[in-house]
Amino acid sequence: MKRREALQGGLALAISALAAWTGRADTTKATRSVATKNVDPPQVVDRTIASADVRPVSAGRLLHFSAVRSTFAAPRDVWVWLPDSYTPEGPPHDVLYMHDGANLFEPGGAFGGKEWGVDEALTQLAGKLPPTLVVGIGNTPLRFREYMPNGVWARLPAEQRAFITKGHGGEPLSDGYLKFIVRELKPWVDATFRTLPGPDHTHVMGSSMGGLISFYALGEYPEVFGGAACLSTHWPAGVPASLEPRPAAEVQGMAAAFAAWLEPHWPQLRGHRLYLDRGDATLDVLYPPFQDAIDHWLQGRAPAAGLQWQSRAFPGAEHNEVAWRARLAEPLQFLLEKPRN
């Protein structure tokens, strides 16, 4: 009885967090955006540094751009963090793109009032890692659908697809979201700031559903992203009814769908980096079987393909910004540290 009560209490908190993980959601009315491959050219991000709201942070400089519009996805806020090493005339920097941007730098706008502390983490690692600026991409009320990989969803068993679609309120919109990042946001970032635009210097990171879309971004756009970090990846994808273990068929269905989706992309992943991790408390209690299945698949496929990957487990870690902040140095170093000659 005590275990059931504990699980029910943990589930209430976990589902509340998962459903409300919109950070500072865009107040602009969300529109259903369906990406089409034939839309060209995309809308140019019409923003200048002078138009940004400068936000107070403990280190570096944080620029906030509100309601950035897109041809491919719903409008959203964007944050650009410039480290102390950045100057308009100085050397170009690596770029890290991160999802759920409102949760990264400022506690006032972060979910639950807790932020990742990305600016503090990179400042502490200065000198150990290449100078890096961070682009925080805000989420919208369409977060679940934008972060659910289209290509993976399409390869799931019909029952699993239906479960996810019902929980998300519609089919995935991730292909459009990634087009916004790759075809609109990144070209604007590279044109506006001094960056190193190649994949060796461009990475993506996210947690929970943001872990799913980060993995998907690496596979769909290996010519753009050289590495992806996926923290507490929400492998079940849907909204679970309890924190009891998910059925084995669901675990295998998700692993098989990821494997089928990624198969044609393997030749382009040589030299790329993939970081995965999980805790085992609150919502993360669901993840070990999924992560084990994904790890088993990667162990058999990644070495021959030349993908550098790492999977970590953090016992006792919960599904929240406090936990991700505590271990943020791990994925940052794995992604950004340059190989020694």
**Distance separating alpha carbons of residues 279 and 45, to the nearest angstrom:** 37
Residue type, 89: E
In the chain, the amino acid numbered 39 is V
Q: Which domains does the chain have, with CATH numbers?
A: 2-336 (3.40.50.1820)
The full DSSP string for 264-294 is GGGGGGTT-EEEEEE-SSGGGGGHHHHHHHH
Do residues 211 and 232 make contact, with C-beta atoms less than 8 angstroms apart?
A: yes
Among the residue ranges 30-34, 210-214, 241-245, 322-326, the one predicted with the least confidence is 30-34
Pairing relationship of beta strands 76-82 and 61-68 according to DSSP bridges? antiparallel
DSSP 185: I
- 224 Cβ contact list (under 8 Å, min separation 6): 182, 186, 199, 202, 217
**Mean pLDDT, the chain, integer:** 88
Cα–Cα dist 326/307, whole Å: 26
Write down the H helix ranges in the chain.
Answer: 2-20, 118-124, 143-147, 150-153, 158-168, 174-179, 186-192, 209-220, 248-262, 287-305, 321-326, 329-336
Report whether pLDDT(257) > 80: yes
Token pair 């309890």 in the structure block, residue: 242
Mean pLDDT of 36-54: 66
Q: Cα separation of 159 and 169, whole Å? A: 15
Residues present in the chain in total: 341
Residue 135: partners with Cβ closer than 8 Å, 6 or more residues away:
78, 79, 80, 81, 95, 96, 97, 98, 101, 185, 189
The identity of residue 251, as a single letter, is V
pLDDT digits (tens, 9 = 90+) for 79-108: 999 999 999 999 999 999 999 999 999 877
Q: What is the DSSP letter of 37?
A: T
To the question of pTM greater than 0.95 for the whole model, the response is no
Strands ordered across the beta sheet of 273-278? 53-55, 61-68, 76-82, 132-137, 94-98, 202-207, 227-231, 273-278, 308-313
Position with higher pLDDT, 21 vs 27 = 21
Confidence at residue 232, expressed as pLDDT on a 0 to 100 scale: 98
The crossing angle, in degrees rounded to 10, of helices 248-262 and 158-168 is: 90
* Amino acid making up residue 161: R
264-311 pLDDT per residue, tens: 999 999 999 999 999 999 999 999 999 999 999 999 999 999 999 999
Identify the CA nearest to 76 among candidates 39, 47, 119, 106: 47
Q: How far apart are the first and last CA of the chain?
A: 58
Average pLDDT over residues 63-92: 96
Q: What is the distance between the alpha carbons of residues 191 and 204, in angstroms, rounded to a whole number?
A: 19
- The predicted-structure confidence for 113-155, as pLDDT tens digits, reads as follows 889 999 999 999 999 999 999 999 999 999 999 999 999 999 9
Does residue 41 register a pLDDT over 90?
no
- The predicted structure's pLDDT at residue 91: 97
Output the CA angle 171-174-178, nearest 5 degrees: 165
Q: Please, how many CA atoms are within 13 Å of residue 149, restricted to the half-sphere of its CB?
A: 28
Cα distances from 246 to residues 185, 249, 260, 284, 320, in angstroms, run: 37, 8, 21, 12, 21
Contact 148, 237 (CB under 8 A): yes
